[in-house]
Structure 1
């Protein structure tokens, strides 16, 4: 299990890092009791790999899980949060408020954290996006929270699809984001959730104005960053992955006074700069690093790098080597 404390608390739980005899208990304590306040009983060998992030009024968990019986008893209830259960792969059955509904196959469900419930994860396990929302913060955006509980929500289109894509994308790069960016991201997540559930008229107008366009652009940028801004990733590729037209993707970047190609170039240069400044890559040639960063033309790489950083790739590498040498000399004097 790894964790990070910063503008938001986050950790990753993976059973591969835990002795087999302890997997069920650690999963139960760390995720079941800390995150969702539920009990977990394995129905197959326990395998879990998830990332969890806690923000003010919002919790996010993404990952995969083997087959479990997940249940909330009265003794574990300690909040009135609303919990969204969405599956990317696999199926489960939710029993809550006297009803039984499937989750998966393009459907998600919202349940109340202040009531008992049961979720049976199906054979083969699941890949999921789960979120918990402060009732106090979400209810003004959607009107009557009770109206959305145990109501099947389609995940393959509209605001719900955008919400899930956005959450996954921003979660992948979360530890690199500033506190201000995370605050903005949380606002967008609440906006998109309200739109997916049926926002009040005023909330919908606000959400469309500040959330949808920005969330789409943020998800696209996070996707490009995750792929290193690789040269083979075209506007058509990006558009297809996010279920948009390539023309709309280009217009999103134009709205910020830039272009998709410029943004991708910056990401490739950032990657190259990072490797050149990393002493662990000191044995590699600059040509090799440029190629790995997505540049097929070394002359173009050198020109673009110098325009971006006002220094040559050789300058950056030399400065990195010199700083390591200086640090070593200083240590020798102690």
Structure 2
């Protein structure tokens, strides 16, 4: 598997007779590893992403029944199913739990289960986690299985909002940023599953939030247009709290955003595919509207001018 694999699945793009099989092969094998039986004409529009140890699917679906059948059981899977709108019934380990309209729950991937999406369909966020990677963050995963939790508050909301945000960013993120995002998702999932204030050897709520905000900034290139108020609103925080998160690391939001813009500019200057572009164009693409300011900030950061960095890269 590549570092990150993604695609959009729209069943309307396929002949009706092929839609169920497409769903089985794509959604039913990539994310949840289930068999699917449609209960009505199949209509699905979802974004699917596979990362090492993590599968994500977000979108909408018509009603169907998903069976976690014996041939597809994976003892290393832990599944999160969240109904943002619509309703579903989960059957697992002899228990039945509805997760309609703003509820989520976890299921183990090592036993047979059933997910029944009710008439009217559902808007959802579904994820599969590697149990080996998640267990060190939460201790005993069994304690959180089949325990419905609201999607509109607390750590679960933070997790789902973050996943939706990076799904929207899509291919604007580099593979390196996706790897970082996967770490954030594991942290936030652990918090949503009831981990204590410290997770993953000291990563806590504040750290998880700061990492989520940083990834959000990276996804948008660190542009000046992204204000503290914008970031705070997207993460359901106040701007003052966002600033304090960065201050806790001995920096500031503006310094972090400037650093990301400079890193982006440096990357383009040393990339041969950008050799024909002017430094002014590169500065603009990196989020700088003032060339003089860009030159000063770049020299302070790299102790060299943009022209020097480009010339050195071309010699190599």
If the length of structure 1 is used for normalisation, what is the TM-score? 0.75
**Structure 2 counterpart SS, 1:4:** coil
Q: Where does the alignment leave 5 or more consecutive residues of structure 1 unmatched? A: 324-334
Q: Which residue of 2 aligns with 1:331?
A: none
Could you tell me which of 107, 110, 120 is aligned with 1:111?
Answer: 107
Do structure 1's residue 291 and structure 2's residue 290 form an aligned pair?
Answer: no
Give 2:158's aligned residue: 162
Match of 1:99 among 92, 96, 101: 96
1:51 aligned partner: 49
Residues 220, 185 of structure 1: alpha-carbon distance in 2 compared, 3 angstrom cutoff: closer
Matched, 1:206 2:198: yes
Larger CA Rg, structure 1 vs 2: 1
1: CA distance, partners of 2:268 / 2:137? 47
Give the TM-score, by structure 2 length.
0.78
Distance in 2 between residues matched to 1:17 and 1:320, nearest whole Å: 46
Residue 228 of structure 1, CA deviation = 0.7
For 2:88 and 2:82, the matched residues in 1 are separated by 12
Whether the aligned pair in 2 keeps the contact of 1:85 and 1:108 (CA below 8 Å) is yes
Aligned residues: 303
Listed as ranges, the gaps of 5+ residues in structure 2 are none
- Which residues of 2 match residues 149-228 of structure 1 at below 5 A? 149=146, 151-167=147-163, 173=173, 175-176=175-176, 185=184, 188-189=187-188, 191-195=190-194, 199=195, 204-207=196-199, 210-228=203-221
Give the equivalent residue in structure 1 for 2:70. 75
Match of 1:326 in 2: none
* Per-residue Cα deviation, 1:211-243 (whole angstroms, up to 9, x for no partner): 211111100000001111111111121111111
Counterpart Cα distance in 1 of 2:133 and 2:49: 25
| Cα deviation code 1:267-319 (max 9, x no counterpart) | 11122222333344444432232223221211111101111122222233344
Aligned twin of 1:276: 269
CA contact (8 A) 1:51 1:61 kept: yes
Partner residue of 1:40 out of 15, 36, 40: 36
Which of 25, 28, 48 aligns to 2:24? It is 28
Conservation of the 8 A alpha-carbon contact between 1:41 and 1:68: no
Correspondent of 1:11 among 5, 11, 34: 5
What's the counterpart of residue 262 of structure 1?
255
CA contact (8 A) 1:62 1:128 kept: yes
Moved more, 304-313 or 170-179: 170-179
How big is the alpha-carbon RMSD for the aligned residues of Structure 1 and Structure 2? 3.6
